[in-house]
């Protein structure tokens, strides 16, 4: 493994297949700040070839098992794959495979598979900014399929999974209760539905439920109607059909303007987010120090009003 900490050298090593170098570049991205940005600047112009598949669903829906089975299917076709497992709620991270992703360890020694867990570390923009950067790095070093798996259906997770080129939403028979809070959000991002654990009862009810919701929705996504695929991830049943659905959606997205439009939209959103973040960073720098203490004391004493105090703190930043 490369001993350098120079991002350019690490990048060259990663391109040459050094997994440790890839892991270290991802750590830099995760930590954020100027070193992370430097990695981003290297990766950006070299990215744009990969296709990303998001995978989300309630905890316990079987996403990891399904991801593992999907990796197996891709490897059987001799395709290489990288997996980012995103966990906004976990303080832990750093290349280690998390406990509940133990099944993915089947693939841990396969050089055609790269698996990485990511959690919120220091990155100021959080995972919503770090994830696209990590995807671009894996893209730039030559991975053509990137799976982005999130652990739950919280707002950040749905947002991250929804930023993939194709998004798979995994539910179980009788799914309603477990995702009640974010059903609308899941409906909106889904390009493919999977009913996993399809050996349990209630598959047909769940399918009808989904079809009905699709009937009621506006289907604004270029008239693509998300197919519903039953799977039993633990046995691998239905995984080929799932992948076929992903490939079909990709073909649709590429043949219409959908993919280009989505990517352009994501780019603009990300740029806006970066600008907003830099300003937030700046606000944090401003609201500290001796002058800040003096001004807040003056406001508390009613000798200065808060707008005049803000004007002074912002002088030179906001005209």
Residues that bind a copy of itself (CB under 8 A): 37, 40-41, 44-45, 47-48, 263-264, 267-268, 270-272, 274-276, 278-283, 286-287, 295-296, 299-300, 302-303, 305-310, 313-314, 317-318
Going across the sheet that includes 166-171, the strands are: 113-119, 81-87, 145-150, 51-57, 166-171, 192-196, 228-231
CB of 168 to a copy of itself, least distance (A): 25
Q: Is 164 helix (H, G, I), strand (E, B) or coil?
A: coil
| C-beta closer to a copy of itself: residue 247 or 314 | 314
CB of 227 to a copy of itself, least distance (A): 29
CB of 214 to a copy of itself, least distance (A): 29
Dihedral sign, CA of 179, 261, 225, 63?
negative
| C-beta closer to a copy of itself: residue 200 or 282 | 282
CB of 261 to a copy of itself, least distance (A): 10
Long-range CB contact pairs, 251-257, < 8 A, 24+: 252/222, 252/224, 253/165, 253/166, 253/191, 253/222, 253/224, 256/222, 257/222
Report angle CA 96, 102, 105 to the nearest 5 degrees. Answer: 75
| C-beta closer to a copy of itself: residue 47 or 64 | 47
Q: Is 142 helix (H, G, I), strand (E, B) or coil?
A: coil
CB of 20 to a copy of itself, least distance (A): 25
CB of 217 to a copy of itself, least distance (A): 25
| C-beta closer to a copy of itself: residue 38 or 241 | 38
CB 65 within 8 A of CB 172: no
| C-beta closer to a copy of itself: residue 15 or 299 | 299
Tokens of 95: 């290349």
Report angle CA 248, 252, 253 to the nearest 5 degrees. Answer: 115
d(CA 100, CA 243): 23
| C-beta closer to a copy of itself: residue 216 or 301 | 301
């Amino acid at each position: 493994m490369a001993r350098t900490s120079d991002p350019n050298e690490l990048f060259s090593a990663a391109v040459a297949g050094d997994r440790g170098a890839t892991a270290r570049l991802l750590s830099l991205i995760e930590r954020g700040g100027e070193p992370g940005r430097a990695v981003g600047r290297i990766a950006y112009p070299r990215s744009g070839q990969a296709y990303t598949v998001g995978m989300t669903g309630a905890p316990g829906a079987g996403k990891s098992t399904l991801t593992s089975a999907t990796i197996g299917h891709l490897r059987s076709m001799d395709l290489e794959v990288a997996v980012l497992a995103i966990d906004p709620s976990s303080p832990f991270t750093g290349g280690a495979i998390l406990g509940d992703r133990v099944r993915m360890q089947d693939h841990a020694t396969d050089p055609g598979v790269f698996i990485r867990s990511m959690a919120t570390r220091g990155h100021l923009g959080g995972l919503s900014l770090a994830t696209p950067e990590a995807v671009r790095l894996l893209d730039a070093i030559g991975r053509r399929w990137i799976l982005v798996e999130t652990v739950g259906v919280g707002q950040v997770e749905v947002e991250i999974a929804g930023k993939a080129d194709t998004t798979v939403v995994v539910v179980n028979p009788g799914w309603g209760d477990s995702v009640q809070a974010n059903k609308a959000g899941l409906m909106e991002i889904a390009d493919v539905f999977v009913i996993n654990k399809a050996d349990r009862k209630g598959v047909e009810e769940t399918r009808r439920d989904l079809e009905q919701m699709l009937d009621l929705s506006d289907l604004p996504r270029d008239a693509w109607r998300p197919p519903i695929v039953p799977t039993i991830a633990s046995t691998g049943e239905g995984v080929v059909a799932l992948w076929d659905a992903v490939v079909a959606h990709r073909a649709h997205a590429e043949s219409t303007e959908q993919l280009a439009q989505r990517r352009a939209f994501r780019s603009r959103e990300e740029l806006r987010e970066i600008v907003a973040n830099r300003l937030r960073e700046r606000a944090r720098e401003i609201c500290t120090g001796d002058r800040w203490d003096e001004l807040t004391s003056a406001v508390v004493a009613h000798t200065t009003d808060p707008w005049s105090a803000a004007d002074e703190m912002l002088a030179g930043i906001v005209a």
